[in-house]
Amino acid sequence: MDQKGVLAVISGFSGAGKGTLVKGLLNAYPQQYALSISATTRAPRVGEEHGREYFFVSKERFEQMIAGDALIEYASYVGNYYGTPKGYVAEQMGAGKDVILEIEVQGALKVKERFPEALLVFVTPPDAPELEKRLRGRGTETEEAIRSRLKTAAGEAVFMDRYDYILVNGQLNACIQELHSLIQTQHRQARLNRGLIEKMSRGLSGIAQ
- Report the interface residues with a copy of itself, using CB under 8 A: 1, 13, 122, 124, 127-129, 131-132, 147, 150-151, 153-154, 157-158, 160-168, 178, 181-182, 184-185, 188-191, 193-194, 196-197, 199-208
Beta bridge partners of 119: 8
Q: In terms of CB distance, is 66 or 196 closer to a copy of itself?
A: 196
Name the minimum Å distance from CB 8 to a copy of itself.
12
How far apart are the C-alpha atoms of 170 and 151, rounded to whole Å? 22
Phi, psi (degrees; rounded to nearest 5) at 35: -90, 130
Q: In terms of CB distance, is 55 or 159 closer to a copy of itself?
A: 159
Name the minimum Å distance from CB 181 to a copy of itself.
5
The b-or-e profile of 153-183 (16+ CB within 10 A means b, else e) is: beebeeeeeebeeebbbeeeeebbebbbebb
Name the minimum Å distance from CB 203 to a copy of itself.
3
Q: In terms of CB distance, is 26 or 177 closer to a copy of itself?
A: 177
Q: In terms of CB distance, is 1 or 66 closer to a copy of itself?
A: 1
- Which DSSP symbol is given to 160? G
Name the minimum Å distance from CB 87 to a copy of itself.
30
Q: Name the amino acid, one letter, at 51.
A: G
User: ∠74-78-41 over CA atoms, to 5°?
Assistant: 55
